[in-house]
Amino acid sequence: MAWALTTADPLADAVVDEIHEHGRTVRIALAQGIADGLASLTDPPPAVAALLTQAESVPDYVDDALLDDGPLPQYSMPNPVHAISLSAGALVRVYQSPSISTVLATTGRLIDGARRRIDETGKWVRIATLPGAMRRGAPGYIGTLQVRMLHAHMRRLARTRGYDEAALGAPINQVDLARTWMDFTVTSYRAEALMGFDLTSTEQHSLYRYWWYVGHVLGIDPRLIEGIAGHDEAKRVDDLLETVTGPLIPESGVLAKATIEAVVDVLHEVLSIPPHLGLHTMYALTRRFHGNTLCDELGLPAAGPAEGVLSAAIRVVQARRAKLRQDPEAWQRNQAKQIADARAADADPGELTGYEHEAAVKA
């Protein structure tokens, strides 16, 4: 843990140093290498070559079945469900890290629109978990390396703006990366189960195994995540990560509240909650996800009268999902629909995300 707190992503950080030393030629080589592979480059810059060599090394557990079928349980529920688990579940907990919140504050990302951050993160998770998306050169693989490079650029920027590594560890360090991996897995999946969208142990194992590889491309040390096959194992490792994460800072509460408020409109689509109860219901869900103690520390309001409505809505979801599971053909049709909806959401690229902008505009 001491090593993880003081270590960021040496390979990606070296590429950023190389970019600042040699400029545009490195950016062009990096963009081409991410899209077309290291073999497409003639005389690549040394740091770019080292990064791509690691990213392109395929661990023994990766095969076609994992890349095509591993993420399928992600699409056993409507895509808007992930927007809620990502925001009130994953991101609220991500922002508990004083290191991450401080990086966002010192680099100016704290004042970005909360909904934009949710949409950008949601888009990356979506493109990274579509079947086949993590093959080399596919959108999920490209997007994951772009996110990794954005982290490296933010690290360098934070260090130029007074980030205190002695107090907080390296900016976006390996503990932060592993905790965030946990929030995209165990935190999100347990949040979805609390909304009525459960996963079987087999489905959990499939998703965790797939996320090992996402973590590999993202630059997370395998000792921190590989081998985790279910929620209980994830929770044990996550508890260890939590013991070396510093206390909340004021920015954590600011980020959490803005994140929750940004997705209120999604609730009606997911749980059929009346719009006028939306914000109260989001706070009720957040307290179910994280507990009253943490929510009080973050300064989040109590749930109020929405708790009863929420419980009734979740019971309806659980009953519908249990019935759907009894019909394998209907279950597969549902998955195919959710995958099609996810692909359609990205058919129009729209405005570039932060990680796409860093890669495209300056290449």
Please list the pLDDT of the chain residue by residue as tens digits (363 residues). Answer: 999 999 999 999 999 999 999 999 999 999 999 999 999 999 999 999 999 999 999 999 999 999 999 999 999 999 889 989 998 999 899 988 998 888 888 877 655 667 788 888 889 999 999 999 999 999 999 999 999 999 999 999 999 999 999 999 999 999 999 999 999 999 999 999 999 999 999 999 999 999 999 999 999 999 999 999 999 999 999 999 999 988 888 888 988 988 888 888 777 777 777 777 888 888 999 999 999 999 999 999 887 777 788 889 899 999 999 999 999 999 999 999 999 999 998 877 677 777 777 776 554
Radius of gyration of the chain (CA): 20
Tens digits of residue pLDDT in 281-330: 889 999 999 999 999 999 998 877 777 888 898 999 999 999 999 999 99
State the number of CA atoms in the 13 A half-sphere of 307 facing the CB.
7
Amino acid at 47: A
Q: Are 130 and 123 in contact (CB under 8 A)?
A: no
| Collapsed DSSP state (helix, strand, coil) of residue 220 | coil
What does the DSSP 8-state code read for residue 73? G
A 10 A CB-CB count for 80 gives 18
CA distance 129 to 134: 8
Residue 96 burial (10 A CB sphere; 0-12, 13-18, 19+): buried
Inter-CA distances, 255 with 66, 104, 115, 221, 301, Å: 35, 10, 11, 27, 14
> Quick check: 45 and 26 in contact, CB under 8 A?
yes
Tokens 């659980």 locate to 318
Q: Per-residue DSSP letters for 284-336? A: HHHHHHH-HHHHHHTTPPP-TTHHHHHHHHHHHHHHHHHHHHT-HHHHHHHHH
3-state secondary structure of 239: helix
Segment 223-231 long-range contacts (CB within 8 Å, at least 24 positions apart): 224/4, 224/174, 224/177, 224/178, 224/181, 225/178, 225/181, 226/59, 226/61, 228/185, 229/204, 229/205, 230/201, 230/204, 230/205, 231/186, 231/189, 231/190, 231/204
CA angle 206, 238, 299 (to 5 degrees): 115
pLDDT digits 0-9 by tens, 46-80: 999 999 999 999 999 999 999 999 999 999 999 88
Distance CA 150, CA 84 (A): 24
Rounded CA-CA distance 361/132 in Å is 27
